[in-house]
A = this chain, B = another copy of it.
Amino acid sequence: MALGEFDLIARFFQRPARRSALGVGDDCALLQPASGTQMAISCDMLVEGRHFFAGADPERLGHKALAVNLSDLAACGARPLAFTLALAMPQVDEAWLAPFSRGMLALADAHDCELIGGDTTRGPLNICITVFGEVPAIHGKTRALLRSGAGADDDIYVSGTLGDARLALEALRGHVSLPVDALARTRLRLEQPTPRVALGQALRGIATAAIDVSDGLLGDLGHILAQSGVGATIDTSSAIGLIAENHYPTWAGVDFSFDSVAITPLSLVLAGGDDYELLFTAPSSAREAVTAAAHASQTPVTRIGRIDATAGLRLLDAQGQPVSGRFDSFDHFA
């Protein structure tokens, strides 16, 4: 029997209200932010065929749709509170909805982030989540991590590792051939990314600017530089270090002499996209504090360069020589 819209919500998505004053099932949900906090809000839309392949594993897709939103909260140093889900589907398919909601709500539970409302409709598969977090504001001054605070001589860091998701994407597109186990591991990064929520909160008061790496390291760094009015120099040997064997056992057996597209280890790291790591800046005086934040949040971070007063982005190799190459970031309309 086909489920109607309201049955569908009740069966797969409705739970008792916890944090919210009022949850799913009225015209609006009600949230009461704690005194002395601001609400951080972000919104991401995932479209079939654009952000995920048709037939993608629904449980992982449910996870990813929320993860990319939580990643935006992480980049602001916000604590997750709640989210809304709008879902367009070609038809009501319980065999798809059950794992989709399971994957989404498992990640939500892991971050104590409550589903408080949304919309369901028929249409080409489209998942739109708006997520709400809270950040302290002291005397009206936000403690959120912004893109605009990087200063000259700040160090530049990135969390975790970069490039796996793009490598898996190129393999799934048939541009690259990967060993089975390498595909499985990189594919997990693509399809079930880990938002760096704990690191983002640990970096409040330490990082001067932050962004999550969704479109590629260089492109996302470009946003920090533009909004902070600064430039940067990236040590690509440290970036290459990010894909060295100790970081990337997965890549050890990969043949990078692809013939179909210009994919190199360096291009994957610098412009891969879909990584959902945190890219952030901090004064050199804060190196111990950064290390402590990384340790407290159990998230590895690597220093990859420094902010310059001079505009522009410079890529240097281990010998301090400029690195050439085009490393385009991802633009949904490019």
Chain B residues with CB under 8 Å of A113's CB are: none
CA distance A86 to B84 in the complex (A): 13
User: Quick one: CB contact mask for A148-177 with B, threshold 8 Å, 1 for yes?
Assistant: 100000000000000000000000000000
A212 an interface residue at 8 Å Cβ cutoff?
yes
**How many copies of this chain are found per oligomer?**
2
A298 an interface residue at 8 Å Cβ cutoff?
no
Chain B residues with CB under 8 Å of A87's CB are: 45
CB < 8 Å neighbour of A21 from B2, B29, B35, B38: B38
CB < 8 Å neighbour of A123 from B85, B126, B211: B126
A residues 210-238 near B (Cβ < 8 Å) are 210-212, 227
Please name 20 further chain A to chain B contacts, defined as beta carbons within 8 Å, in addition to the given A5-B331, A21-B137, sorted by A numbering: A2-B333, A5-B332, A22-B146, A27-B76, A28-B78, A28-B144, A29-B41, A30-B41, A39-B39, A41-B116, A42-B117, A43-B128, A47-B88, A48-B123, A86-B128, A88-B126, A92-B333, A121-B332, A123-B126, A124-B124
Chain B residues with CB under 8 Å of A78's CB are: 28
Let me know if A44 and B126 touch, CB within 8 A.
no
A4 an interface residue at 8 Å Cβ cutoff?
yes
CB < 8 Å neighbour of A45 from B6, B22, B50, B86: B86
Question: What is the total number of residues of chain A having a CB less than 8 Å from a CB of chain B?
Answer: 72
Chain B residues with CB under 8 Å of A44's CB are: 86, 119
Let me know if B28 and A75 touch, CB within 8 A.
yes
Q: How far is the CB of A42 from chain B (nearest CB, A)?
A: 4
A140 an interface residue at 8 Å Cβ cutoff?
yes
Let me know if B45 and A128 touch, CB within 8 A.
yes
Knowing A3-B333, A45-B88, A126-B45 are in contact, say whether A121-B26 is a contact too (CB < 8 A). Answer: no
CA distance A283 to B332 in the complex (A): 53
